Structure 1
Amino acid sequence: MQRFAWLLKVDGGHRRLTGIWALLFHLTAAGFAAFYLYTSGFGLISTESNRGVYLMLTSVLVFMTYPMSRRSPQHRPSIIDMIFIAAAVVSVGYWIDQYVSYAIFRVSSPNSYDLAMGAVAIVVMLETSRRALGPIIPIIAILFLLQLYFGPYLPGRLSHPGMSVERILEFTFSTQEALFGVVAATFATFVFPFIIFGAFLERSGAGNFFMELGTAVAGRWRGGPAKIAVMTSALFGSISGSSVANVVTTGAFTIPLMKRTGFRAHHAGAIEAIASTGGQFMPPVMGAGVFILATLTETSYLTIAVMNIIPALVFFGFVLVMVDLEAVRTGIRGMPPSETPRVRDVLRRGWYFFLPLVVVIGLLFRGYTPEFCAFWGTLTAIGLSMIRSETRMGPSGIMQGLIGGARSNAAAGAAIGSLGVIIGGIVLAGLGLKFSAVLVDFSGGHLFFALILVTIISIIIGMGSSTTGSYIILSVVAAPALIELGVPTVAAHLAVFYAACLSNITPPVCVAAFAGAAIANADPMKTGLAALKYGITLVLMPFSFVYVPGLILDGTTAAIVHSTIVYLLGVIALAVAIQGAEPFGGTIGTLRRVLFGGAGVLLMFPATLFIDVAGFVLLAAAAAPTVLGRRRPAVGTGTVD
């Protein structure tokens, strides 16, 4: 019985469930994940059941593990929690049961039960988001509901005739356009199966393997622990797709290691935060927002993943160069050989952990749906866990994998209901096109200024929100403006998505930096500012997708290769300018930093041949003292052949 003692204790979401409540949570979570693992493989389920069950059980798990306030019981749900759980089950269950009847007989004529259940469901979803993610998203959702009613009082172009309470409730609840719309469908169909896949892949031992591989590859280099953080976050991020989950998982190992070898606390937290943020656009899995992006642009997930390969590699390459130059500037060395395994030994012990990713990618290339690929990737991970006794998954291990996937989803999916309310408010009032018109007006019709406004708006909207939440809002209010100004649809949405990722590292509210700062015992604001320095390319990427289309494979092969090489040289030059150090060792003066910075900007945005040439000239002038100095023998030493 000792093997199953874990069933009677749950530690998560600020509440520690024990006894029967822990058992109920585990059974609910395991059943929830098993249901969607089954649907991802076999797909035998109605649309209303797929979306409804997802929102219902996500809310149930959140109410069980996230207390209403600090005064709430910490080892069991309160009476209020049980009321919310019942409300979630009854209201969403009613929608699942009545949707077909509504769609056939009651469209535009909801009955009193439809309206009452709609009001209950909206309150339930807002409270679900508030408990797991804080008040920002629910407040935004409430504002979008209020603007539907008070439309005549809105200023300028945002004004509209206004809607009755009955119309607002009907559209938000009874249709598949808002609460149960595309966001809920995407998470239930695509995102949750990949979260389950990530949970099983980590339990199979792949997480430890990727960590050990990063240590073996980069541990001995100068600043090795920071490079381990970057590499393991890239590898682990490709299976987790969550910046905060990535920080707390890999950061628990890498941040103390960075501090031990000489990195300042806020720099250690910042490096982990920015590297973990990159996991959201690191193929093959990426973050939840990418699935939404693929759905909204009607582009295959595989196409989006392939388009992100070069931007992701450029991003992580820049962070690696920044870390290396930080080590040069501060004299931080690598780990001792006794603490770093050999790459050959690590690969020999765990090379097969790449197979689940190969299965997923292979099936995607064969044309199978993403959720089907996640299903077989999960089964492959379970099979591979049997190779070693310490990772072998029996019935207990499989159940823990299902529970781990459901718990991760509870945090990731808590915002989905509220985001559906926001989307419904935007669609019903026609605000998408109105916001776009306002954005175009503010920018004066200039694309460059429009991109600046999108970046600023993304930081504001992203305060306290997830990347997915920020992107969903921006995809409706900002992406159409870029499209109107001539940006291709996918490029516009990618620009908006990368801008949404900024909220993870930009103060005053930067969730990934806060998580890194907590582990590093550092000041969150200093950590956020340092993360912004290490990830400055994340600010520039939205502009790059518009002005350097070759980065997202738009153009001829020659143009793509040329753009990538020149852009890489540009980001390296920019890193040298920011850090004031160069890869060969030593610091540089102000004039050379300015030259490197100018070269970086020109090479990253080569609009014309003249700008290209000017960038190379500045780069040559900046690098000349180093090149000539390395060729000239030291005075008095002579030469030896």
Structure 2
Amino acid sequence: MNRVASGIGSVLALTGLFWAVDAPTWLGWFIYQEQFIAAALGASLFISFCGGGVKSPDRANSRLLLAVVEMSPGLMGLAAGLWLCVRYPVLQADVIGNETEAIVLSVVLLALSLEACRRSAGSVLTIVFGVFFAWALFGYLLPGMLATKQVSLARLLPYLALDTSSVLGAPLMIAATTVVVFMFFGRILQNCGGAEFFTDLSSAMFGRYRGGTGKVEVVASALFGTISGSAVANVMSTGIITIPNMKKAGYTPQTAGAVEAVSSTGGQIMPPVMGAAAFLMAENLQLRYVEVALAALIPSLLFYISVFVQVDLEAAKRRIGGISAAELPRTGQVFRRGWFFLIPFVVLFTLMGMTELQAEPSVLLGVAAMLPFAFRVGYGGKRLSGRSLLKALKDTGRDAVDIIVICAVAGAVIGLLNISGLSLSLSLALAKLGEGNVLLLLVAVAVMCLVLGMGLPTTGVYLLVAVIAAPSLVQLGVPALAAHMFVFFFGCLSMITPPVAMAAFAAAHIAQTSPLQVAFTACRLGWPAFIVPFVFVFSPGLLMGGGLWVVTVSLLAASAGVWMGSVAFAGHLAKPLSHASRLVAVISAALLLYPFEATAVG
């Protein structure tokens, strides 16, 4: 069954790539996109339930019975997804005449999606769905702003399964196409030595300087984040090398773990390839992905400036030197051996910046341009082959499953909010809570993101809060891009924010130290990510808005402010700083980060 799941994973990835470049149109096939994503959901449910294999009891009859029991949900999910794929045009055209069929499909797909989501992302999103489902059914009985439109179960279930504002909506479409394309890109890079190239490049460029091991960790994790797209995966991939190296050099275990956790978390907000939620943001705002990536550039640079400065000052405080030149690769040699890894990034941004081509075909053209070198040369002893290419497809399909089922359930929650009128009610309630005070509402939204992030991945946090809270911010005059970017940033920060900080916990396991100490240290290192989102809401220059002069002034002032704040947190410059000096640095940072009228909006 594992082999079957792997095969279906390959098909899931291939069809995602196929659809992402609009191949059906080229071939003259008329297929609704809802048919494609229904099949993708069915395949994902099968992999989710059957991809882990079947436990093997001693007796053959028990083994057969257990296999049937464990496979049944996956087979039901696959069958329901394929049935909806085939029958979608008929059901969409006459849902009333086929009401029973639509209800059965809805119940099966929703129940299995909820269980698959619970297995992959915990119970939070499942509970959220349950609360809003009950609210949508019985909310008309509630008083005041809590009241909803009356919706019958017979109308609600087909809506959730068939409407493009629900399960078969934009989140699931983006997950099954755009996210699959970029996951495939990352897998190709990994299979031909991309991770080793980025690590060697970081070592060659920064290893010789003070605190070299820490700086290599920061840069390598930022670069690797363009491949993995997951903070925890990033930690587990690069941290097993960089964290022991930092400890050996003289950094404390909690600092070594925190640097890895915060750097890996930053990979989701760092262009050119950001986390999956960034693609959903582009779709929600009806912007091209390149516009979202450019808007995130300055805030992400400020984030890494802070981490880099504090790593350097921590090294100065502990007198940690650089790595011996004999142990480091040479920059020129690294580039000569791995320059072709830059091809996809150059092609991606050239095509998106200079043509109307979308991100998906752009990145696939970039991969195609790199493939001859990946097959012929490779890096670090890794070359692409037919077998590793097939493995990349299998791994992409498996990697995409969690995102797909999360987006399916999140889409169902969005559908509940829309059909019941709750999205408008909650937005109005939040706006009233803020009482016209944008800052107060921003704090409430930030807290909401961090609380939801205790049990949800970034994608789930962004989808929910973007529907519930972002409209309230826009209603109070916050630009839509700034509002959604604010939600995205705080959704990412849940990875390092106590009490549940998955990236910090993963790093603490490698560093063999207290998870909470790592999480709190990571928050200190990544402090701009908690402050800069508030700043860019009022200062459009930090999101590349307002013209060259505004962008330049905003960048210089914010960079200086982040540097001063990082010095204050580190408590060290040329020598240890007194409390008075650190206070001066904090005040200076606050003044530099404050959005003056020259750059502010609103």
Name the TM tier (shorter chain): over 0.9
Report the alpha carbon displacement of residue 464 of structure 1 after superposing the two structures with TM: 1.8
Greater relative contact order structure (CA < 8 Å, 6+ sep): 2
Cα pair distance change 1:490/1:68, threshold 3 Å: farther
Partner of 2:204: 216
Cα pair distance change 1:70/1:224, threshold 3 Å: farther
**C-alpha contact (below 8 Å) 2:176/2:400 kept by paired residues:** no
**C-alpha contact (below 8 Å) 2:6/2:51 kept by paired residues:** no
In structure 2, distance between residues paired with 1:273 and 1:478: 28
Describe the superposition over 1:31-83 as per-residue Cα deviations: whole angstroms up to 9, x where unpaired.
22222223333531531232112212222222123589999999998433311
Cα pair distance change 1:71/1:427, threshold 3 Å: farther
Residue type matched to 2:439 in 1?
F
| Aligned counterparts, 1:252-291, within 5 A | 252-291=240-279
Report the alpha carbon displacement of residue 222 of structure 1 after superposing the two structures with TM: 1.9
In structure 2, distance between residues paired with 1:439 and 1:245: 35
Residue type matched to 2:572 in 1?
A
Report the alpha carbon displacement of residue 386 of structure 1 after superposing the two structures with TM: 2.0
SS of the equivalent of 2:464 reads helix
In structure 1, distance between residues paired with 2:428 and 2:281: 22
Greater shift in the superposed pair: 477-486 or 88-97 = 88-97
**C-alpha contact (below 8 Å) 2:554/2:599 kept by paired residues:** no
Partner of 1:479: 470
Cα pair distance change 1:267/1:64, threshold 3 Å: farther
In structure 2, distance between residues paired with 1:174 and 1:110: 12
Cα pair distance change 1:74/1:586, threshold 3 Å: farther
**C-alpha contact (below 8 Å) 1:227/1:320 kept by paired residues:** yes
Residue type matched to 2:492 in 1?
C
SS of the equivalent of 1:114 reads helix
| Equivalent of residue 495 in structure 1, options 462, 486, 490 | 486
Partner of 2:577: 588
Counterpart check, 1:179 vs 2:184:
no
Residue type matched to 1:272 in 2?
E
Describe the superposition over 1:515-545 as per-residue Cα deviations: whole angstroms up to 9, x where unpaired.
2122222222221111111111111122122
Report the alpha carbon displacement of residue 25 of structure 1 after superposing the two structures with TM: 2.8
Counterpart check, 1:61 vs 2:47:
yes
| Aligned counterparts, 1:265-344, within 5 A | 265-344=253-332
In structure 1, distance between residues paired with 2:411 and 2:473: 23
Partner of 1:374: 363
**C-alpha contact (below 8 Å) 1:498/1:541 kept by paired residues:** no
Report the alpha carbon displacement of residue 331 of structure 1 after superposing the two structures with TM: 2.4
SS of the equivalent of 2:334 reads helix
Cα pair distance change 1:75/1:299, threshold 3 Å: farther
Residue type matched to 2:361 in 1?
F
Residue type matched to 1:228 in 2?
V
| Equivalent of residue 422 in structure 2, options 420, 423, 431 | 431
| Equivalent of residue 228 in structure 2, options 204, 227, 240 | 240
**C-alpha contact (below 8 Å) 1:268/1:520 kept by paired residues:** yes
Cα pair distance change 1:214/1:166, threshold 3 Å: same
Residue type matched to 2:528 in 1?
T
Partner of 2:27: none
| Equivalent of residue 454 in structure 1, options 426, 445, 449 | 445
Report the alpha carbon displacement of residue 494 of structure 1 after superposing the two structures with TM: 0.9
Q: Structure 1 unaligned runs (5+)? A: 1-20, 612-641
In structure 2, distance between residues paired with 1:482 and 1:284: 27
Partner of 1:516: 507
Partner of 2:28: none
Counterpart check, 1:31 vs 2:15:
no
| Equivalent of residue 495 in structure 2, options 472, 497, 504 | 504
**C-alpha contact (below 8 Å) 1:67/1:77 kept by paired residues:** no
Cα pair distance change 1:149/1:24, threshold 3 Å: same
Report the alpha carbon displacement of residue 448 of structure 1 after superposing the two structures with TM: 0.9
SS of the equivalent of 1:371 reads helix
In structure 2, distance between residues paired with 1:66 and 1:607: 55
SS of the equivalent of 1:280 reads coil
Report the alpha carbon displacement of residue 138 of structure 1 after superposing the two structures with TM: 1.4
| Equivalent of residue 2 in structure 2, options 15, 22, 27 | 22
Cα pair distance change 1:577/1:387, threshold 3 Å: same
Partner of 1:441: 432
Give the % identical residues. 32
Report the alpha carbon displacement of residue 471 of structure 1 after superposing the two structures with TM: 0.5
Counterpart check, 1:129 vs 2:110:
no
Residue type matched to 1:159 in 2?
A
Report the alpha carbon displacement of residue 576 of structure 1 after superposing the two structures with TM: 0.7
Cα pair distance change 1:67/1:504, threshold 3 Å: farther
Cα pair distance change 1:226/1:153, threshold 3 Å: farther
**C-alpha contact (below 8 Å) 2:564/2:588 kept by paired residues:** yes
Counterpart check, 1:463 vs 2:451:
no
Partner of 1:52: 38
Using the size of structure 2 for normalisation, the TM-score is: 0.93
In structure 2, distance between residues paired with 1:330 and 1:532: 21
In structure 2, distance between residues paired with 1:303 and 1:511: 29
Residue type matched to 2:596 in 1?
A
Counterpart check, 1:551 vs 2:507:
no
Partner of 1:618: none
> Deviation above 6 Å: which 4+ runs of structure 1?
67-77
| Aligned counterparts, 1:399-410, within 5 A | 399-410=390-401
Report the alpha carbon displacement of residue 162 of structure 1 after superposing the two structures with TM: 3.5
Report the alpha carbon displacement of residue 248 of structure 1 after superposing the two structures with TM: 1.5
In structure 2, distance between residues paired with 1:505 and 1:154: 38
Cα pair distance change 1:272/1:153, threshold 3 Å: farther
Describe the superposition over 1:551-577 as per-residue Cα deviations: whole angstroms up to 9, x where unpaired.
111112111101100110000000011
In structure 2, distance between residues paired with 1:247 and 1:114: 43
In structure 2, distance between residues paired with 1:75 and 1:234: 47
In structure 2, distance between residues paired with 1:36 and 1:76: 34
Partner of 1:348: 336
SS of the equivalent of 2:376 reads coil
**C-alpha contact (below 8 Å) 1:385/1:392 kept by paired residues:** yes
Cα pair distance change 1:77/1:331, threshold 3 Å: farther
**C-alpha contact (below 8 Å) 1:67/1:131 kept by paired residues:** no
Greater shift in the superposed pair: 159-168 or 352-361 = 159-168
SS of the equivalent of 2:274 reads coil
| Equivalent of residue 85 in structure 1, options 60, 70, 74 | 74
Residue type matched to 1:567 in 2?
A
In structure 2, distance between residues paired with 1:77 and 1:379: 44
In structure 1, distance between residues paired with 2:150 and 2:525: 46
In structure 2, distance between residues paired with 1:280 and 1:479: 20
SS of the equivalent of 2:268 reads helix
SS of the equivalent of 1:281 reads coil
Residue type matched to 1:393 in 2?
L
Describe the superposition over 1:84-136 as per-residue Cα deviations: whole angstroms up to 9, x where unpaired.
11111122122112211122222x55521211111011001001111112212
Residue type matched to 2:237 in 1?
T
Residue type matched to 1:544 in 2?
V
| Equivalent of residue 383 in structure 1, options 367, 372, 384 | 372
